[in-house]
Amino acid sequence: MFTELNSILNITPDNFKQGEFVLISDRHTDGSFLIHHFLSFYLRARCKVCFLGLVQSFSHYCAVSQRLGVSLVQAKEKGQLIFLEGLKESLSVLIPKEPNTGSQALDFLRDPSAGLRSLYEFVRASVSHTGGVEGVEGVEGGVEEWGPPVLLVDDLSVLLSLGVSVGAALDFSHYCRATVCSQLQGSMVMLVRCEAEEEEDDGDEEGPERLLKGLTHQCSLTLQVQGLPTGYCRDIHGQVEVCWRNRHGNGQQMQKKLFQYKVHDKSASFFARGTSSAVL
């Protein structure tokens, strides 16, 4: 968990705004360190977390979280963390060793026309019950209760490479936001990866750029991670633009701040643009 980022966002595990949809995007760099931050943050905040890990194995997320002081294994055992390992589950669907194996959450791999309804139902079932599990030592009554639910997705743009349309991915996000953020007053964090710069005449109606635009209209906070415009720097890894979106009536107010950052083994440093001696 990165305390400097928490200070920028004005949040702590004991005090954070509910009903938030946080959208992370990266371009020409890796913004997954923010997913690890929010995962450790919400687990420390004792939220019930549903994590759709579509790009890495559970052991990978475990190793990173361990360095941040959080045990995903213990969180799963206590019922606080529900984890969908996309790589493993997709192989079970695409290369089944036995008939009817694999998670129903990824039914769209069997039948693309089915859309993401099963994946949404998996999320809804995971976040609807915020209670813990029986028999947790030290908890009165043997049941540990969790705080508001949280949905994390790493990363949503992977679904496009699996044949899901941008429209279906946006519908999935919309229904998840309605359930998690509006109905249950929880939070949602999604990562979208955009490798290339947008070209106005590329005619791509099903790419991550269109997905990013659609999600931006839904979210309340965006963290846009990019490489440095000056190129590689040993002491600064990139920059992140933080944009708060506050809706008032039919209008929307935006506040933006730009920071440079450096990711360490167990933390990350953030500098207001121009304050780092490495990059001016």
Percentage of the chain with pLDDT > 70? 83
Chain-centre distance of CA 122, in angstroms? 16
Tell me how far apart the alpha carbons of residues 137 and 262 are, in angstroms, rounded to a whole number.
Answer: 39
pLDDT value at 280 more than 50? no
Asked if residues 240 and 227 have their Cβ atoms less than 8 Å apart, the reply is no
Tell me how far apart the alpha carbons of residues 207 and 73 are, in angstroms, rounded to a whole number.
Answer: 35
Please compute the mean of the pLDDT values over residues 13-26 and round it to a whole number: 95
What is the reported pLDDT for 204?
A: 60
pLDDT band at 102 (very low <50, low <70, confident <90, very high): low
Query: How long a stretch of residues is the chain?
Result: 280
Q: Is 238 helix (H, G, I), strand (E, B) or coil?
A: strand
pLDDT value at 62 more than 60? yes
Structure tokens at 124: 């809804």
Tell me how far apart the alpha carbons of residues 265 and 160 are, in angstroms, rounded to a whole number.
Answer: 31
59-to-209, 235, 267 alpha-carbon distances in Å: 30, 29, 20
pLDDT band at 17 (very low <50, low <70, confident <90, very high): very high
pLDDT band at 235 (very low <50, low <70, confident <90, very high): confident
pLDDT value at 55 more than 80? yes
What is the reported pLDDT for 144?
A: 75
Q: Which residue has the higher pLDDT, 233 or 84?
A: 84
pLDDT value at 98 more than 70? no
pLDDT band at 203 (very low <50, low <70, confident <90, very high): low
pLDDT, tens digit (0-9, with 9 covering 90-100), for 158-185: 999 888 999 999 999 999 999 999 999 9
pLDDT, tens digit (0-9, with 9 covering 90-100), for 124-154: 999 986 554 443 444 444 567 899 999 999 9
pLDDT value at 61 more than 90? yes
What is the reported pLDDT for 116?
A: 94
pLDDT value at 99 more than 90? no
Q: Which CATH number fits domain 3-132+139-195+206-272: 3.40.50.300, 3.30.1050.10, 2.40.110.10, 1.10.3720.10?
A: 3.40.50.300
Q: What's at 160, amino acid-wise?
A: L
pLDDT value at 279 more than 80? no
What is the reported pLDDT for 271?
A: 82
Report the chain's mean pLDDT, rounded to a whole number: 85
Q: Which residue has the higher pLDDT, 142 or 238?
A: 238
Structural domain boundaries in the chain: 3-132+139-195+206-272
pLDDT value at 73 more than 90? yes
Asked if residues 155 and 169 have their Cβ atoms less than 8 Å apart, the reply is no
pTM for this entry: 0.87
21-to-66, 185, 215 alpha-carbon distances in Å: 25, 11, 10
Asked if residues 54 and 88 have their Cβ atoms less than 8 Å apart, the reply is no
Give the orientation angle of helix 117-128 with respect to helix 166-177, to 10 degrees.
20
